[in-house]
């Protein structure tokens, strides 16, 4: 599984949906693209996203894929750091 797909799924989960504009897919109000429309359509075909007009929403299958993917190192490190601070 490619990182851009997981990143796009994480953004869709965080914001509730993604928006297609000018051949790219963005999080709502965002100015940096999360992925291309082609990548989003591949995720629709895989069953990870659902397309509704210009919006892409995460499906239960997409959430399952996210739950099985490891956290990026920086997020995992931040979680460990928060855990250690709470134990003290």
Dump pLDDT digits (tens) for 37-71.
999 999 999 999 999 999 999 999 999 999 998 76
> pTM of this prediction?
0.75
Q: Which residue has the tokens 């929403």?
A: 57
The answer for residues whose C-beta is within 8 angstroms of residue 11's C-beta and 6 or more apart is 18, 27, 34
Number of domains the chain is built from: 1
Give the residue numbers spanning the domain of 71. 3-87
Q: What are phi and psi of 20, to 5 degrees?
A: -90, 125
Instruction: Give the model confidence (pLDDT) of 66-78 as tens digits.
Output: 999 876 655 555 5
The Cα–Cα gap between 77 and 74 comes to 5
CATH number, position 9: 1.10.10
């Amino acid at each position: 599984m490619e990182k851009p797909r997981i990143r796009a799924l994480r953004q869709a989960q965080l914001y509730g949906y993604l928006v297609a504009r000018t051949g790219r897919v963005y999080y709502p109000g965002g100015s940096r693209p999360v992925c291309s429309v082609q990548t989003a359509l591949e995720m629709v075909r895989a069953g990870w996203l659902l397309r509704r007009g210009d919006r892409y929403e995460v499906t239960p299958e997409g959430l399952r894929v996210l739950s099985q993917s490891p956290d990026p190192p920086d997020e995992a490190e931040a979680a460990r750091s928060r855990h250690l601070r709470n134990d003290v």
